[in-house]
């Protein structure tokens, strides 16, 4: 009885977690884009980037690594982040705990305009 209840609780928690994560999924595409390019989330939400392309990409939000200053910015209180190289099929997650606007880019395709934005309310 208790075991069954515990199992049901765990299943519902897991289902809830995956439903939330799916709300903020961004694809890294063969067209050298982040899709959708802009996502608006709430403080504490997690964004999941999935490399659905055949190319290697990165999710990089670090002004020190950007060729153009416009391609990377984040709120002063937030820490820069960088996924490293994501091969085809790879996934990267980041939870946003500081509200504000984040401009990020792909290290390999910044010059092709592969940039994205996360707005954290």
Q: Which residues contact 108 (CB under 8 A, 6 or more apart)?
A: 55, 56, 57, 58, 114
We find the least distance from the C-beta atom of residue 90 to Cu ion, in angstroms, to be: 12
57 binds Cu ion (CB under 5 A): yes
Q: For residues 45 and 104, which CB has a smaller minimum distance to Cu ion in the complex?
A: 104
Q: Are 50 and 91 in contact (CB under 8 A)?
A: yes
Among 48, 80, 108, 117, binds Cu ion (CB under 5 A): 108
We find the least distance from the C-beta atom of residue 75 to Cu ion, in angstroms, to be: 24
Q: Which residues contact 79 (CB under 8 A, 6 or more apart)?
A: none
Q: Which residue ranges make up the site for Cu ion (CB under 5 A)?
A: 57, 106, 108-109, 114
């Amino acid at each position: 009885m208790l075991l069954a209840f515990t199992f049901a609780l765990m299943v519902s928690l897991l289902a809830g977690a995956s439903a939330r994560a799916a709300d903020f999924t961004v694809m890294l595409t063969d067209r050298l884009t982040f899709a959708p390019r802009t996502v608006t989330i709430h403080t504490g939400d997690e964004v999941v980037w999935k490399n659905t392309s055949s190319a290697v990409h990165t999710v990089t939000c670090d002004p020190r690594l950007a060729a153009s200053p416009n391609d990377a910015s984040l709120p002063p209180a937030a820490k820069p982040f960088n996924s490293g190289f994501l091969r085809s099929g790879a996934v990267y997650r980041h939870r946003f705990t500081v509200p504000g606007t984040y401009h990020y880019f792909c290290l390999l395709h910044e010059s092709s305009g592969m940039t994205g934005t996360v707005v954290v309310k």
